[in-house]
């Protein structure tokens, strides 16, 4: 197992030492941050996203909890992940299922206690699993005491912590901005007769990041959790932190959105450059604690993506979702996305699903070969150069389970947008542990229903089936850890014009691994894929395959592939 970076204890000792050395009467200089962990664990480990409501319920309320996560750490260790990212588990009225935080320094009683959190961290540490939390700081809940104070009067010391404005002369909202979740972006608050701004639901008022007190409060929140043992944060919705100070109207463009509203070119309420100053400050605190920042940085614009890395002083892992934007299995489409990221010269992050998008099993599946396709996708994002972020249940091939009627919908966007927008419930259903009722997630009816397919598709059944998606994930994760080329090697694209097969090499000076993924139902033969690569091997040794057995020797001049076949082979110089 890799070394866990030194946390708060070491930083505190360094601070004391610096104080002791300072000459009397002079101000001690802040100690320099500890050198970056040379191993940079986050470059080598797989991060596993957990939606805590849906992972494991231990107190029989149909909702998952922190003790549930702790109880599944052995499973996660066996799976082979090095960190879990838990979506918000802080006190919250749950309008946006935790993304509306009403207290940043507590655990929601529905999920447990701070002591449960401490135990999760400690038990995780024993198993080499770090805990990453979700920092939701574009907005708070409208029930947060900061907002309660802010809304109480125009003269409140917290008034400027949020974005308050008078309406226009005719009483209309201050500008034409639209909230992402289908409502106007401004809500009139009767207490003071002013509007407040919210990019998401009205219950999620935006913080005013231009106020230094807000910035300080958030940096303190991050410090608080690092000192409690969090290994980092996923930063929610980073591109929405700042708004145009003049609140100019966004230009209206042709077309309507899924809620039937006129489309806007969001130049004044999103992606403002000031976010990079905020990220640098968050990173500085993270560096002081050896922590990692994972950004929610939805973009396919490579220049924009690169900006999130800064000069190595911003987000280590900006999640770009460039794979999730490819909506069908296509070798040329994935090849292109990888090339864009590789050319950017940054440390890549690969994601195929999360709690906001339809499950990958459905999104890439063709309705017939979904399991085989899920294996191809797994073999892709887990063998590329970069950090993969998995979504719970992806390793089982969990399917989306959309609500069947509007009354069943829990996610407010689905209520508002039905039936065009069904909301995100479908991708958030309970983890499927075994064949019992409610998939072994809970002894009572869970907050969202499990699909009928859970009886066959669950950890119990798949553990016992050597050909399951779960066992493929385990093999892939073990291989990533043990194989030098997969861990450290560069990415070399092969067969650049092949319409069906995505093939590449991962290679270091001393090792080379060929990955060949047939992304089609046809029977292509890969001819001489290594031509021109200066490798001496004429045969390869299978490391992992969906048809071929491990250690089998394959000739490299012609590799016939079955539909959706995966071949990963050692083609290194030692052969």
Q: Which residues have a catalytic role annotated?
A: 236, 288
**Alpha helix (H) ranges present in 465-551?**
469-482, 484-488
What's the CA angle centered on 457, arms 454 and 462, to 5 degrees? 145
570 contact, one of Ca ion, ligand GLC, none, CB 5-8 Å limit per kind: none
Report, in Å, the least distance between residue 91 CB and ligand GLC.
Answer: 15
End-to-end Cα distance, the chain: 28
Work out the number of other CB atoms within 10 angstroms of the CB of residue 207. 25
Q: Which stretch binds Ca ion (CB under 5 A): 17-25, 58-66, 236-244, 264-272?
A: 58-66
β pairing state of 130-135 and 47-50? unpaired
**How far is residue 2 CA from its own chain's centroid?**
22
Dist CA 490 CA 476 (whole Å): 18
Report, in Å, the least distance between residue 312 CB and ligand GLC.
Answer: 25
Nearer residue to Ca ion within complex by CB, 445 or 509: 445
**How far is residue 265 CA from its own chain's centroid?**
26
Interface with Ca ion (CB under 5 A), residue total 5
Burial class (CB in 10 A: 0-12, 13-18, 19+), 310: middle
570 binds ligand GLC, rule: CB under 6 A:
no
Q: Are 95 and 203 in contact (CB under 8 A)?
A: yes
565 contact, one of Ca ion, ligand GLC, none, CB 5-8 Å limit per kind: none
330 binds Ca ion, rule: CB under 5 A:
no
65 binds Ca ion, rule: CB under 5 A:
yes
Q: Which of 61, 105, 213, 366 binds Ca ion (CB under 5 A)?
A: 61
136 binds ligand GLC, rule: CB under 6 A:
yes
Q: Which of 7, 42, 90, 99 binds ligand GLC (CB under 6 A)?
A: 99
* Residue whose beta carbon is closest to ligand GLC: 99
Q: Which stretch binds Ca ion (CB under 5 A): 50-58, 284-292, 414-422, 562-570?
A: 50-58
Dist CA 182 CA 296 (whole Å): 21
Q: Give, in order, the Cα–Cα distances in Å from 333 to each of 172, 350, 485.
A: 45, 14, 24
Q: Which stretch binds Ca ion (CB under 5 A): 62-70, 173-181, 455-463, 544-552?
A: 62-70
441 contact, one of Ca ion, ligand GLC, none, CB 5-8 Å limit per kind: none
Q: Give, in order, the Cα–Cα distances in Å from 223 to each of 92, 278, 300, 390, 408.
A: 21, 15, 31, 26, 39
E strand map for 87-231? 130-135, 164-165, 186-189, 194-197
99 contact, one of Ca ion, ligand GLC, none, CB 5-8 Å limit per kind: ligand GLC
Nearer residue to ligand GLC within complex by CB, 413 or 556: 413
447 contact, one of ligand GLC, Ca ion, none, CB 5-8 Å limit per kind: none
Report, in Å, the least distance between residue 203 CB and Ca ion.
Answer: 23
Q: Using CB under 6 A as the criterion, what x/- string covers residues 207-236 for binding ligand GLC?
A: -----------------------------x
Q: Which of 47, 63, 291, 567 binds Ca ion (CB under 5 A)?
A: 63
Give the three-class secondary structure for 424: coil
Q: Using CB under 6 A as the criterion, what x/- string covers residues 267-306 for binding ligand GLC?
A: -----------------------------x----------
Q: Which of 130, 151, 355, 457 binds ligand GLC (CB under 6 A)?
A: 355
Q: Using CB under 6 A as the criterion, what x/- string covers residues 304-343 for binding ligand GLC?
A: ----------------------------------------
Nearer residue to ligand GLC within complex by CB, 296 or 462: 296
Report, in Å, the least distance between residue 394 CB and ligand GLC.
Answer: 16
356 binds ligand GLC, rule: CB under 6 A:
yes
556 contact, one of ligand GLC, Ca ion, none, CB 5-8 Å limit per kind: none
Dist CA 197 CA 187 (whole Å): 7
Burial class (CB in 10 A: 0-12, 13-18, 19+), 74: exposed
Closest CA to 238 of 279, 268, 192, 181: 279
Nearer residue to ligand GLC within complex by CB, 236 or 314: 236
Q: Give, in order, the Cα–Cα distances in Å from 342 to each of 205, 306, 349.
A: 38, 11, 11
Report, in Å, the least distance between residue 63 CB and Ca ion.
Answer: 4
Dist CA 293 CA 277 (whole Å): 15
Query: Could you tell me the two tokens for 286?
Result: 């993270």
Nearer residue to ligand GLC within complex by CB, 99 or 491: 99
Report, in Å, the least distance between residue 65 CB and Ca ion.
Answer: 4
Q: Which of 57, 395, 402, 411 binds Ca ion (CB under 5 A)?
A: 57
Q: Which of 162, 200, 225, 309 binds ligand GLC (CB under 6 A)?
A: 200
**Alpha helix (H) ranges present in 441-494?**
459-464, 469-482, 484-488
Report, in Å, the least distance between residue 356 CB and ligand GLC.
Answer: 5
Nearer residue to ligand GLC within complex by CB, 99 or 433: 99
Please enumerate in sequence order all residues whose Cβ is within 8 A of that of 410, keeping only pairs 6 or more positions apart, or say none. Answer: 97, 403, 423, 425, 447, 448
Q: Are 432 and 459 in contact (CB under 8 A)?
A: yes
Dist CA 180 CA 413 (whole Å): 9
Nearer residue to Ca ion within complex by CB, 64 or 540: 64
Nearer residue to ligand GLC within complex by CB, 196 or 473: 196
Closest CA to 341 of 328, 326, 327, 353: 326
108 binds Ca ion, rule: CB under 5 A:
no
Phi, psi of 319 (to 5 degrees): -85, 115
What's the CA angle centered on 329, arms 328 and 331, to 5 degrees? 130
Report, in Å, the least distance between residue 332 CB and ligand GLC.
Answer: 29
E strand map for 16-65? 47-50
Residues 422-451 that bind Ca ion (CB under 5 A): none
β-strand partners of 20: none
59 contact, one of Ca ion, ligand GLC, none, CB 5-8 Å limit per kind: Ca ion
Which residues sit at the interface with ligand GLC, rule CB under 6 A? 96, 99, 136, 200, 236-237, 296, 355-356
Which residues sit at the interface with Ca ion, rule CB under 5 A? 57, 59, 61, 63, 65
């Amino acid at each position: 197992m890799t070394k866990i970076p030194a946390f708060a204890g070491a930083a505190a000792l360094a601070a004391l030492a610096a104080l002791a050395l300072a000459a009397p009467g002079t101000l001690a200089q802040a100690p320099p941050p500890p050198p970056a962990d040379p191993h940079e664990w986050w470059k080598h480990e797989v991060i596993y996203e957990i939606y805590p409501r849906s992972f494991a319920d231990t107190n029989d309320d149909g909702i998952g909890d922190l003790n549930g996560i702790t109880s599944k750490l052995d499973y996660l260790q066996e799976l082979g992940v090095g960190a879990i990212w838990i979506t918000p588990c802080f006190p919250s009225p749950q309008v946006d299922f935790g993304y509306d935080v009403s207290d940043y320094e507590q655990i929601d009683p529905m999920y447990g206690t701070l002591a449960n959190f401490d135990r999760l961290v400690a038990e995780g540490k024993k198993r080499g699993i770090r805990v990453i939390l979700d920092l939701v700081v574009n907005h708070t809940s409208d029930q947060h005491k900061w907002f309660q104070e802010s809304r109480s009067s125009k003269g409140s010391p917290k008034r400027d912590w949020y974005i308050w404005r008078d309406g226009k002369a005719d009483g209309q909202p201050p500008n034409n901005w639209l909230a992402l979740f289908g409502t106007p972006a401004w809500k009139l608050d009767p207490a003071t007769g002013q509007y407040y701004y919210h990019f998401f639901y009205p219950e999620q008022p935006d913080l005013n990041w231009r106020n230094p007190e807000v910035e300080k409060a958030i940096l303190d929140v991050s410090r608080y959790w690092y000192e409690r043992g969090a290994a980092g944060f996923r930063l929610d919705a980073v591109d929405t932190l700042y708004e145009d100070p003049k609140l100019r109207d966004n230009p209206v463009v042709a077309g309507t959105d899924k809620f039937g509203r006129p489309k806007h070119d969001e130049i004044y309420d999103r992606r403002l450059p000031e976010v990079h100053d905020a990220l640098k400050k968050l990173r500085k605190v993270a560096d002081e604690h050896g922590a990692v920042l994972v950004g929610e940085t939805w973009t396919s614009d490579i220049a924009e993506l690169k900006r999130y890395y800064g000069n190595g002083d911003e987000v280590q892992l900006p999640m770009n979702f460039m794979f999730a934007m490819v909506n069908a299995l296509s070798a040329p489409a994935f090849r292109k996305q990888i090339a864009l990221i590789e050319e950017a010269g940054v440390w890549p992050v690969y994601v195929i699903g999360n709690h906001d998008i339809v499950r990958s099993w459905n999104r890439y599946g063709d309705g017939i070969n979904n399991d085989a396709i899920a294996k191809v996708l797994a073999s892709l994002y887990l063998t590329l150069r970069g950090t993969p972020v998995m979504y719970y249940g992806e390793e089982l091939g969990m399917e989306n389970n959309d609500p069947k009627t509007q009354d069943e919908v829990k996610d407010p966007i689905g209520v508002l947008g039905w039936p065009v927008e069904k909301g995100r419930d479908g991708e958030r259903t309970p983890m499927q542990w075994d064949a019992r009722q409610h998939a072994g997630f809970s002894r009572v009816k869970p907050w969202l229903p499990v699909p009928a397919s859970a009886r066959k598709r669950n950890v119990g059944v798949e553990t016992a089936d050597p050909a399951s998606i779960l066992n493929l994930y385990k093999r892939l994760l073990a291989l990533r850890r043990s194989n030098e080329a997969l861990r450290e090697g560069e990415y070399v694209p092969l067969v650049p014009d092949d319409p069906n097969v995505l093939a590449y090499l991962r290679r270091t000076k001393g090792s080379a691994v060929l990955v060949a993924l047939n992304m089609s139902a046809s029977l292509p033969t890969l001819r001489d894929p290594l031509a021109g690569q200066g490798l001496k091997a004429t045969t390869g040794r299978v490391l992992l395959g969906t048809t071929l057995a491990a250690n089998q020797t394959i000739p490299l001049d012609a590799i016939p592939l079955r539909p959706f076949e995966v071949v990963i082979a050692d083609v290194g110089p030692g052969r």
